[in-house]
């Protein structure tokens, strides 16, 4: 039986990680995502499921606690907002290099620097192209509703363990702060020690007589071995690209034009579609749900029908680079962005569509 | 039915909780809802607003730039949102909070002396429910039995003893709402 509640995105995510059987949360407060840790603390997770909720002394400490917990085969996570995520990038690169599963949440605010506390989508590059150093990828899920904030907690852990890779839920201040209806899954049990031994044989939980020491590291000074390790990582990322692409198409069946947008922008575009269609403009929306892997193929296929694409992002134009690569120059692709904490109005998106795509 | 509402006033007037009770009541009546608060600098400067959408259909954007109804509780909010009401829409204000009257002539305008009444009744903490009552009188988008359920869900259990008081305030508000400008 699913349970129906009215919750903020941040709270829904927090409740969902408890229900997904998380073992540990390590974080440091920052607006607009502080409700995640507040909610977990208020829930007394240590009493409810035995889950640890800990406020670390800094973001850097928090991500390294995640590294340690993940190395023990536990379901662990951290959350932050943009400047805090920048601090975590070194640890994320290490975790990706060491091939450990963990869940990350970025409730994005405007930047650069300390920026603003209002919603933004200007961390797309950081999220999908690295962020930290080295050739690694995160699986990036972009929720556009409170329901998806909850759903992607469980899905995130599932994918993280399936691929032994960090999964990032890339949200923003609007999705984090707003309340919507949410259906919550039933409580899943936390892993038992027995399950950890069986399901994650690589975990560093003490040597047993039947195997060698497990070693978790991202370091190998022998370049040949390091190249092989990188090959293995790349093969994994190709597998993820093959299997895990997720997207939603809205009103694309008869569309002459398409918006491409994720998260909050995708919600606003749905209102723009209503406005545009009332004026007789046939426009649809392609909403990437996974930003890595990016839905390249479907976008490429759409070029046989639509005449132009408007990328709507709360940034100066980041996702548009992936859209252009996918479209391979077949049709016109333009960017329409608001940033620094400003959110588009539905009507200005319609105006941009007319000016930049239809009339341009 | 889709009703797009902005509620705006000072922090502490119960703007966000009024929106939450309305939204939760909508959930209980099996409607689609969204509740998008201001959480930024304006809130830290003392003003608060919340966008509430209640609909029979899936809600597209939770963030809007024009509204069917604006419920205005202070002058800053009147300055900010008077021009965001859709033509033919509704503006409700408490005269106690403002220093000039609304100027629009293409929208329906009602006033509600909620602060004064709350003071008279010694019920300043349910001021926001008086205002909500005024709105529900004009636009009964959620049935009263679901408002009751919404109150139960929104208020922590220890405050459930105050539900009758809140409901009384809503009824009081229904009787207080006064037309200022009504379009034909």
Domain count, chain A: 2
B123 — pLDDT class (breaks 50, 70, 90): confident
Interchain contact, B153 vs A6, CB within 8 Å: yes
A147-to-A5, A16, A35, A183 alpha-carbon distances in Å: 10, 10, 16, 7
Q: Looking at the structure, tell me whether residues A331 and A189 fall in a common domain.
A: no
B45 — pLDDT class (breaks 50, 70, 90): low
Q: Does the beta carbon of B5 lie under 8 angstroms from any beta carbon of chain A?
A: no
- For A255, what's the count of Cα atoms within 13 Å in the CB-facing half-sphere? 24
Our CA angle for A252, A255, A257, nearest 5°, is: 110
pLDDT in tens, chain A (360 residues): 678 899 999 999 999 999 999 999 999 999 999 999 999 999 999 999 999 999 999 999 999 999 999 999 999 999 999 999 999 999 999 999 999 999 999 999 999 999 999 999 999 999 999 899 999 999 999 999 999 999 999 999 999 999 999 999 999 999 999 999 999 999 999 999 999 999 999 999 998 888 889 999 999 999 999 999 999 999 999 999 999 999 999 999 999 999 999 999 999 999 999 999 999 999 999 999 999 999 999 999 999 999 999 999 999 999 999 999 999 999 999 999 999 999 999 999 999 999 999 996
Q: Looking at the structure, tell me whether residues A178 and A257 fall in a common domain.
A: no
Helix/strand/coil for A254: coil
**ipTM score:** 0.92
Site from B51, B61, B149 to mutate, A interface, most A CB atoms within 10 angstroms: B61
Which of A163, A178, A193 corresponds to the end of one domain?
A193
Structural domain includes residue A170: yes
Shortest distance between the Cα of B107 and any Cα of chain A, in A, equals 20
If you search the block for the tokens 């046939």, which residue do you land on?
Answer: A282
Assess whether pLDDT exceeds 90 at residue B46.
Answer: no
Q: Determine the residue of chain A that is closest to B41 in CA distance.
A: A117
Structural domain includes residue A239: no
Q: Which residues contact A337 (CB under 8 A, 6 or more apart)?
A: A312, A313, A314, A315, A316, A317
Question: Which domain does A102 fall in, by range?
Answer: 3-193
B41 — pLDDT class (breaks 50, 70, 90): low
What would the pLDDT profile of B147-181 be if each residue is shown by its tens digit? 999 999 999 999 999 999 999 999 999 999 999 99
Structural domain includes residue A112: yes
Interchain contact, B36 vs A181, CB within 8 Å: no
Query: Is residue A167 within 8 Å of A138, Cβ to Cβ?
Result: yes
Structural domain includes residue A73: yes
Of residues B53, B78, B45, the one with CA closest to residue A346: B53
Of residues B158, B30, B184, B176, the one with CA closest to residue B110: B176
Interchain contact, A270 vs B34, CB within 8 Å: no
Interchain contact, B39 vs A116, CB within 8 Å: no
Crossing angle, helix B127-138 and helix B15-28, to 10 degrees?
A: 50
Q: Which of residues 158-177 of B touch A (CB under 8 A)?
A: none
Q: Looking at the structure, tell me whether residues A105 and A171 fall in a common domain.
A: yes
pLDDT score, position A1: 61
CATH topology of domain B2-181: Pyruvate-ferredoxin Oxidoreductase; domain 3 (3.40.920)
Interchain contact, A6 vs B63, CB within 8 Å: no
H-helix or E-strand containing A313? strand A308-313
Q: What average pLDDT score do residues B102-111 get?
A: 98
Q: Which of residues 185-244 of A touch B (CB under 8 A)?
A: none
pLDDT score, position B44: 62
Q: Looking at the structure, tell me whether residues A125 and A41 fall in a common domain.
A: yes
Q: Does the beta carbon of B63 lie under 8 angstroms from any beta carbon of chain A?
A: yes
pLDDT score, position B75: 95
Interchain contact, B65 vs A347, CB within 8 Å: yes
pLDDT score, position A360: 67
CATH number of residue A257's parent domain:
3.40.50.920
Domain boundaries along the sequence of chain B: 2-181
Q: Looking at the structure, tell me whether residues A170 and A289 fall in a common domain.
A: no
Shortest distance between the Cα of A181 and any Cα of chain B, in A, equals 7
Site from A9, A181, A347 to mutate, B interface, most B CB atoms within 10 angstroms: A181
Structural domain includes residue A149: yes
pLDDT score, position B134: 98
Of residues A149, A74, A159, the one with CA closest to residue A105: A149
Shortest distance between the Cα of A332 and any Cα of chain B, in A, equals 26
Q: Looking at the structure, tell me whether residues A251 and A119 fall in a common domain.
A: no
Q: Does the beta carbon of B41 lie under 8 angstroms from any beta carbon of chain A?
A: yes
pLDDT score, position B42: 62
What would the pLDDT profile of B63-96 be if each residue is shown by its tens digit? 999 999 999 999 999 999 999 999 999 999 999 9
Q: Which two tokens stand for residue B104?
A: 């629009």
CATH number of residue A135's parent domain:
3.40.50.970
**Which residues from A are below 8 Å from B34, CB to CB?**
178-180
pLDDT score, position A24: 98
Q: What per-residue string of b and e applies to B79-89 under the rule 16 or more CB within 10 Å gives b?
A: ebbbeebeeeb
If you search the block for the tokens 């190249």, which residue do you land on?
Answer: A227
pLDDT score, position A209: 87
Shortest distance between the Cα of B50 and any Cα of chain A, in A, equals 9
Q: Looking at the structure, tell me whether residues A298 and A182 fall in a common domain.
A: no
**Which residues from B are below 8 Å from A273, CB to CB?**
60
């Amino acid at each position: 039986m699913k349970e129906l509640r009215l919750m903020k995105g941040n709270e829904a995510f927090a409740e969902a990680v408890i229900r997904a059987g998380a073992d540990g949360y390590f974080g440091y407060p920052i607006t607009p995502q502080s409700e995640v840790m507040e909610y977990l603390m208020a829930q007394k997770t240590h009493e409810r499921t035995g889950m640890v909720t800990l406020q670390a002394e800094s973001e850097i400490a928090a991500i390294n606690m995640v590294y340690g917990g993940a190395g023990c085969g536990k379901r662990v996570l951290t959350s932050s907002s943009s400047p805090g995520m920048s601090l975590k990038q070194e640890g994320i690169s290490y975790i990706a290099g060491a091939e450990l599963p963990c869940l990350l949440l970025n409730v994005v605010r405007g930047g650069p620097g300390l920026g603003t506390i209002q919603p933004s989508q200007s961390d797309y590059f950081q999220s999908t192209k690295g962020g930290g150093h080295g050739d690694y990828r995160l699986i990036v899920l972009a929720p556009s509703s409170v329901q998806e904030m909850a759903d992607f907690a469980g899905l995130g852990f599932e994918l993280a363990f399936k691929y032994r890779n960090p999964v990032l839920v890339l949200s923003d201040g609007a999705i984090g702060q707003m309340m919507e209806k949410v259906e919550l899954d039933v409580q899943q049990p936390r892993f038992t020690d027995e399950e950890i031994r069986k399901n994650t044989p690589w975990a560093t939980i003490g040597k047993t007589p039947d195997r060698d020491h497990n070693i978790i590291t991202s370091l190998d000074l022998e370049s040949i071995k390091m190249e092989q390790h990188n090959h293995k990582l790349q093969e994994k990322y190709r597998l993820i690209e093959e299997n895990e692409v997720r997207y939603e198409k809205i009103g694309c069946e008869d569309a002459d034009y398409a918006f491409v947008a994720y998260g909050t922008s995708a919600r606003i575009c749905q209102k723009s579609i209503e406005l545009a269609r009332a004026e007789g403009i046939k426009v649809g929306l392609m909403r990437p749900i996974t930003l890595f892997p990016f839905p390249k193929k479907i976008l490429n296929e759409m070029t046989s029908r639509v005449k132009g694409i408007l990328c709507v992002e709360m940034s100066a134009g980041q996702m548009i680079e992936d859209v252009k690569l996918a479209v391979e120059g077949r049709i016109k692709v333009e960017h329409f962005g608001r940033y620094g904490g400003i959110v588009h109005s539905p009507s200005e998106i319609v105006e941009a569509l007319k000016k930049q795509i239809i009339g341009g | 039915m889709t009703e797009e509402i902005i509620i705006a006033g000072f922090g502490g007037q119960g703007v966000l909780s009024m929106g939450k009770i309305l939204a939760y009541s909508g959930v209980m009546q099996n409607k689609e809802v969204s509740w998008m608060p201001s959480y930024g600098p304006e809130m830290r400067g003392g003003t608060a607003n919340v966008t509430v959408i209640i609909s029979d259909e899936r809600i597209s954007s939770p963030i809007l730039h024009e509204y069917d109804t604006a419920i205005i509780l202070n002058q800053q909010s009147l300055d900010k949102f008077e021009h965001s009401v859709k033509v033919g829409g509704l503006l409700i204000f408490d005269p106690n909070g403002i220093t000039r009257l609304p100027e629009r002539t293409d929208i329906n305008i009602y006033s509600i002396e909620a602060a004064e009444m709350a003071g008279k009744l010694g019920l300043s903490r349910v001021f926001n429910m008086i205002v909500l009552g005024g709105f529900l009188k004009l636009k009964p988008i959620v049935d009263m039995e679901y408002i009751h359920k919404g109150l139960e869900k929104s208020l922590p259990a220890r405050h459930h003893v105050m539900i009758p008081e809140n409901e009384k305030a809503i009824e009081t508000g229904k009787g207080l709402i006064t037309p200022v400008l009504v379009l034909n």
